[in-house]
Amino acid sequence: MRPKKIPFRSPSSVPATRRDAMPEKRERRNRQGAARRAQASSSEPAASERLHKVLAQAGLGSRRTIEEWIAAGRVEVNQQPAKTGMRIGPQDRVKVDGKLVRLHFSTRPPRVLLYHKPEGEIVSRDDPEGRPNVFSALPRLRGSRWVAVGRLDLNTSGLILFTTSGELANQLMHPGAGLLREYAARVLGGLTEEARAQLLDGVPLEDGPARFHSLEDAGGQGANHWYRVSLFEGKNREVRRMFEAVGGMVSRLIRVRYGPFVLPPRLKRGRSLELEEAEVERLIAGLKGQSKAGSAQRNAEKPLQTAKPYTRGIAAGRSAVGH
């Protein structure tokens, strides 16, 4: 079957009334298209964010570090060298050292988890020895990743925070935030009064002097004695090294508090609790207020303990909220 031929109609063959209406339709369509483009362009600034802020939220580093990367030419936006202070949107492609970065734009606050780390898990995704890591017990994410707020060594258990915002993680770890870390330490043989005084006054370590903000006797039986200690720093194995500096040996160490959060008594090892959005917003507002005040006075407030249990997405082989 031959295709049906469509007769050509010249403009002169179109009735005058229709021919007169054609320019008006074109003009109306042009006006509508221009309005849509203007609306889209006016909405772009609201959807765009500063490049260094977006990369910090992705967990690549602090804003200051990323600004240094931009100045050094390590960051590209749409195959062009990035500029300090530029804004980007969801449609932009960003590379750091030639590697594409998955970006996340959202007006909602970042997610925050409280995780009860058991002994024997490492706080790292890459381990040549293939040891269990904390990330395998966390809920799975799409389009983002969990960033650990600090670390706990292999043989230390207790509270560790995770967030989907690298910027928030850096704020929580920064010494300027003045967030108190509290531990329960079981020491072999106990401490003398002189050793306790030294730990409160300060002891020399390889990376500088360190001291406890508080040290309380928590009792114990036999050769082991428990102490509750707190400090405002988070150096590598700092608590253990401080006890070793005065002749003590820590046989067990549990972190029970980080800033405004305490380890919930009913949160079993290997389980996590996710904060409500209102709690996350309160945390962010508190960090902003604390940075302006320039002091750790807010740590004296009542620790935040309320959180909604996370009951889905845990790795296979575990119960609904952990093992």
Residue 2 is assigned to a structural domain of this protein: no
Helical spans, DSSP H, in 58-177: 63-71, 166-173
153 is catalytic: yes
Is residue 39 in some structural domain? no
- For residues 133 and 249, membership in a common domain is answered with yes
Digit-coded pLDDT (tens) for 195-246:
999 999 999 999 999 999 999 999 887 788 999 999 998 888 999 999 999 9
Q: Tell me the average pLDDT of the chain.
A: 80
The two three-digit tokens of residue 44, written as one number: 């772009």
CATH code of the domain containing 83:
3.10.290.10
Domain range for residue 141? 112-309
| DSSP for residue 297 | G
Q: Would you state the pLDDT for residue 125?
A: 87
95 and 121 share a domain? no
Tell me the pTM.
0.67
Query: For residue 130, how many other CB atoms are within 10 A of its CB?
Result: 6
Note whether residue 1 is domain-resident. Answer: no
Rounded Cα distance, 190 and 7, in Å: 102
pLDDT given for residue 237 in this prediction: 93
Measured between alpha carbons, how far is 313 from 311 in angstroms, rounded to an integer? 7
Mean local confidence (pLDDT), 73-96 = 91
For residue 212, give the CATH number of its domain.
3.30.2350.10
95 vs 248: CA distance, rounded Å: 49
Q: 214 and 92, same structural domain?
A: no
Q: Which of 100, 122, 142 is the last residue of a domain?
A: 100
| Domain identity same for 127 and 231 | yes
- Whether 225 and 95 map to the same domain: the answer is no
Q: 254 lies in a domain?
A: yes
Cα–Cα dist 242/193, whole Å? 15
One of 20, 127, 153, 207 is an active-site residue; which one?
153
Q: Cα–Cα distance between 218 and 196 in angstroms, integer? A: 13
Residues 150 and 262 in one domain: yes
Domain match, 263 and 135 both: yes
Distance of CA 272 to the CA centre of its chain: 15
Same domain, 93 and 123: no
Q: Tally Cβ neighbours within 10 Å of residue 103.
A: 19
Q: Are 245 and 274 in the same domain?
A: yes
Q: Is residue 27 part of a domain?
A: no
Which position has the token pair 């370590």?
A: 205
Question: Can you say whether residue 105 is alpha, beta or left, with left for phi > 0 and alpha for psi between -120 and 50 degrees?
Answer: beta
Contact assessment for residue 239 and residue 186, using Cβ atoms and an 8 Å cutoff: no
Output 90 or 173, whichever has higher pLDDT. 173
* In contact, 109 and 277? CB cutoff 8 Å: yes
pLDDT tens-digit map of 13-63? 555 555 555 566 666 666 665 555 444 444 444 467 888 888 877 777 777
Task: State whether 84 and 219 are in the same domain.
Answer: no
Count of domains in the chain? 2
Q: Say if residue 56 is in the same domain as residue 131.
A: no
Q: Are strands 249-258 and 156-163 parallel, antiparallel or unpaired?
A: parallel
* pLDDT higher than 60, residue 190: yes
Same domain membership, residue 259 and residue 126: yes
